[in-house]
């Protein structure tokens, strides 16, 4: 994994001083990226930011994050589509 990925936080509204966890779902077919991301968020420390690495913007995830009160921002990089997810 590139050391560039955490720098993507500077391109989002996510807290840059929070611990981060990465979840790479690029190789998973639907609905695994959605379910694995929601499971990871259930276990995520409330101060941490989850970086989901995907091969596309997780359009079906956004309404679920809204319903659960999470903030998120998605950024395209050369390596992946990275969605930063954190508690508001």
CA distance 25 to 64: 17
Nearest 5°: the CA angle 21, 24, 29 is: 145
Tens digits of residue pLDDT in 35-82: 999 999 999 999 999 999 999 999 999 999 999 999 999 999 999 999
Tokens 């997780």 -> residue: 58
Burial of 52 (0-12, 13-18, 19+ CB in 10 A): buried
CATH number of the domain enclosing 35 = 3.30.110.40
Q: How many domains does the chain have?
A: 1
pLDDT, residue 21, reads 96
Per the structure, the complete domain to which residue 81 belongs is given by 5-87
Facing residues of 83 across strands?
52, 74
């Amino acid at each position: 994994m590139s050391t560039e990925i955490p720098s993507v936080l500077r391109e989002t509204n996510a807290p840059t001083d929070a611990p981060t966890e990465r979840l790479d779902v690029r190789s998973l077919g639907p609905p695994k990226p959605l379910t694995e991301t929601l499971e990871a968020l259930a276990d995520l420390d409330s101060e941490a930011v989850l970086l989901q690495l995907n091969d596309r913007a997780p359009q079906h995830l956004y309404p679920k994050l809204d319903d659960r009160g999470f903030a998120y921002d998605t950024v395209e990089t050369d390596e992946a589509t990275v969605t930063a997810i954190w508690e508001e």
